[in-house]
Structure 1
Amino acid sequence: MFVDDRSDVAAALASVAESTVGVDVERADADRYFRRAALVQVGTAQRCLLLDAVAFEQLEELDDFLDDGRVAVLHAVENDLEPLARMGVVPSSMADTAIAAALLGLPIGLSGLLAEVLEVQLTADKEAFQRADWEARPLSDGMADYAAGDVFHLPELWHELADRLAQAGRTSWYEQELAFTVTRAGQDSRDWTRVKGAGRLDPAAKARLRALWEERERLARAHDIAPNRLVHDDVLRDLAEHPVDTTDELVRRSQRRRGLLRQHADDLLAALDRGREAPPEARENGGRRWTPEDKAAYDALRKARAGVATDLGIDAGVLCSSRPLWRSVAGRPEDPLTLCALADLRPWQTELLHEVLWEAYTDAMTPAVADEPGPDPDAVPTV
């Protein structure tokens, strides 16, 4: 049921009687800074509503509906919480089938997960519909079927995954990961150090990159433009490494969207000047060189983590991603729990990993590797 009349929303939601419902969002914000919903799907195997987010700026009726003791089942909640929140929808009780699948060693993609767990085959061309214009109206039959397919099976899928988590003794793992994911989704994780290649720049170039990145963020927010559409990361890094002085030089650095870049050239050149005058950025890890022991310890931690993950039948990155292990080595821990705390591991991860990681760390931090060549002091280990 496609709903684009505000007066029909409450009655349409009332027609969905189940206490566990699938929820999904189709977005049309690829060129925008802020995530926005174009369509919100709510449903079960019996009934699916397609709520027209183009017609509705707010959906407080959906917020009330989900707050009435219902469980909203989403797949990869981090993708949908922001656009829902912008419409005033904050589910009080959620489940995430992607997190559950990861902790069970199952496919994380919805199509593969449905095929393995429920033997359901989604026939829509996912890649094509992901590129579709979800703000276009009317929706084609194919788009409507695809959108409904993303929520139709979610309640049944969640019930099956919840049973499997309980049987495997992993329900508490799931609850911790869900809470962590929801909290992280509400935080602004954008940072200039995430620009690819930033770690290889010298301290002065890093200062210029930071100034350029912060100005691009300001402009992107103010004009609701996707940052990489305004100025691609690669262009920012190039400008930081090889600064320019004129608008024409600036524009020539970009191979696309030069008109848009020219509009904001003065602001970016001013930012580049601020970066030139700013103090150099500190080197990674406070300027301390990565010793051969550090590199050996980092590699040993990754190997030990991979062994535990293999035994559990889950991906090593699900058990613990690599970057936190790098922080553990940089912190020079004195005991197993400190090592885990430096990596910000959740309790379930700490319980599984503290002994094996500590053994790997202490074995690696020996003089035996002292004569090996040291790593680049600014290189971030592979993540």
Structure 2
Amino acid sequence: MSRVTEPPAALDAFSVRFVDRDEEVADGLRAVAADVVGVDVERADADSYFRRAALVQVGVAGHCLLLDGVTLPAMPDLDAFLGPDRVAVLHAIENDLEPLAAKGVVPDRVADTAVAAAVLGLPTGLGSLLDEVLGVQLTADKEAYQRADWEERPLSDGMAAYAAGDVVHLPALWREMADRLDAAGRRHWYEQELTATVARAGESTRDWTRVKGSGRLAPEQRAVLRAVWEERERLAQEHDIAPNRLLHDDVLRSIATEPPRTVPQLVRRSQRRRNLLRRHAADLFAAVERGLEAAPEPRETSGHRWSDGDRRVFDALRRARTEVADELGVDAGVLCPSKPLWRAITGQPQDAAELCALVELRPWQTEVLAPSLWDAYVRARADADGADEPDPSVDEAPLP
């Protein structure tokens, strides 16, 4: 984290109140008591395992309340404030729900302007979106403030203005986006995407198989990787350390491919933060030894050998998806990511509904994609069937 030294953004466009005492929170919230409020979180947890809010912003046009996450361990008044009679508007909600929940804040009704922008084909970055939709330009250096130390007190004028600027425009932005969603007939698209986004935000995606390159390791190496990853995870949680700060994924792969024979050898594998690693090296080395004695971890595969024909079918599905996305004016990845389309090939669907179910499309995606995907699949499969043998150089394809 760093201190931002560039000139602050202007504070004269809105008033800002900073609150760091429990007894002042309720009074501060009265100044932003509208039906729709902007909410954002500034975090200071880059070196920590758990996400935590250093600052929580609540804003409406002309005013912003800054709640000090450093001195306020919980925010029950804010939780009550964001009840069923009020909409909390966030941008990229998946980044903020966990640190809010850690403060005991779970909004009853939420809106996400980033999700709305995605299904409307608009820029999803807040600065670009505000400029295009409302003609509002945020002048602060976003990258610099993202690197700032948000636990620094007192907050500089520039940091306070930047934090407020992220929320005071959100209510107006959401109202405009909601009107556009209704006009385009895409409100149900948005609602399904928002539900999926909130659900993903509550799921843990941490898993040893997500270490880059783990799928290419030999089964014996994968056993070592898993054992050391799980021990790193345990230590990271117990001591609230960012896992990669304790032992980077690149070092994990190195340990898995060439296991160290001693604790000092393990420590020397890491080029940074060796003092931190030394404190936990004995536990990690014990995990290496457990991994060497463990049963091999087989590679996860689909059990399907890909032929050149399969790849042509996959390419046809991607092209069909992209053509529909272009017609709708949305990003192809929003309409349907490429990777799940492989499941349509391994599952050998019998109709459009089965194809869309294999790809796990949401109802709105099925609505707009099913005919084009099925037509592309049938045509490409007819051309590919019998034309190719499975590629002998690839035993099985990895699971998507």
**TM-score, normalization by structure 2:** 0.91
Judge conservation of contact 2:46–2:242 (CA < 8 Å) in 1: yes
Report the AA paired with residue 176 of structure 1: Q
1:44 and 2:63 are equivalent in the alignment: no
Question: Structure 1 residues 237, 363: closer, same or farther in 2, change over 3 A?
Answer: farther
In 1: Cα distance, 2:89 partner to 2:328 partner: 25
How far has the Cα of 1:125 moved from its partner? 0.4
Q: Which residue of 2 aligns with 1:262?
A: 278
Q: Is 1:370 paired with 2:393?
A: no
Measured in 2, the distance between the counterparts of 1:332 and 1:48 equals 55
Runs (5+) with no aligned partner, structure 2: 1-16
Q: Does 1:150 align with 2:166?
A: yes
Question: Given that residues 292 and 374 in structure 1 are in contact (C-alpha distance below 8 angstroms), is that contact kept between their aligned partners in structure 2?
Answer: no
Tell me which residue corresponds to 1:179: 195
Partners of 1:361 and 1:249 in 2: how far apart?
53
Q: How is 1:146-295 mapped onto 2 (pairs within 5 angstroms)? A: 146-295=162-311
Q: Which residue of 1 aligns with 2:149?
A: 133
Contact 1:73/1:155 (<8 A) preserved: yes
Return closer, same or farther for 1:171/1:284 CA change in 2, 3 Å cut-off.
Answer: same
1:310 aligns with 2:326: yes
Which of 76, 80, 83 matches 2:92?
76
Deviations along 1:46-79, whole A, 9 cap, x unmatched? 3110000111010010010010500000000000
Rate the CA distance shift 1:258–1:18 in 2: closer, same or farther, 3 A.
same
CA spacing shift, 1:10–1:308, aligned 2, 3 Å: same
* Cα separation, 2, equivalents of 1:152 and 1:314: 27
RMSD over aligned Cα, in angstroms? 1.8
Partner of 2:4: none
SS at match of 1:284: coil
Distance 2:243 2:190 in 1: 33
Q: Residue 37 of structure 1 contacts residue 84 of structure 1 at CA under 8 Å; is this kept in 2?
A: yes
* Distance change >3 Å, CA 257–CA 50, structure 1 → 2: same
How far 1:242 moved relative to its partner? Answer: 1.7
Residue 268 of structure 1, CA deviation: 1.6
1:371/1:268 Cα in 2 relative to 1: closer, same or farther (>3 Å)? same
Aligned CA distance change for structure 1 residues 299 and 375 (closer, same or farther; 3 Å): farther
Count matched residues: 382
Residue pairs, 1:8-23, within 5 angstroms = 8-23=24-39
Find out whether 1:4 has 2:20 as its counterpart: yes
Matched position secondary structure for 1:94: strand
Whichever residue aligns with residue 14 of structure 1, its letter is R
Distance 1:15 1:85 in 2: 23
Paired residue secondary structure (1:90): coil
Which residue of structure 2 aligns with residue 90 of structure 1?
Answer: 106
Distance change in 2, residues 1:116/1:219 (3 Å): same
For structure 1, the residue ranges without an aligned partner over 5 or more in a row are none
CA separation of 1:177/1:374 partners in 2, compared to 1, >3 Å: closer, same or farther?
farther
- Do the aligned partners of residues 349 and 129 (structure 1) sit closer, same or farther apart at CA in structure 2, a change above 3 Å counting? same
Aligned equivalents of 1:120 and 1:38: distance in 2?
26
Moved more, 6-15 or 339-348: 339-348
Q: Which moved more, 1:216-225 or 1:365-374?
A: 365-374
Residue 209 of structure 1 deviates from its aligned partner by: 1.5
Which letter maps to 1:135? E
SS at match of 1:73: strand
Superposed CA deviations along residues 8-40 of structure 1, whole A, max 9, x for unmatched, are 100111122311000000000000010000000
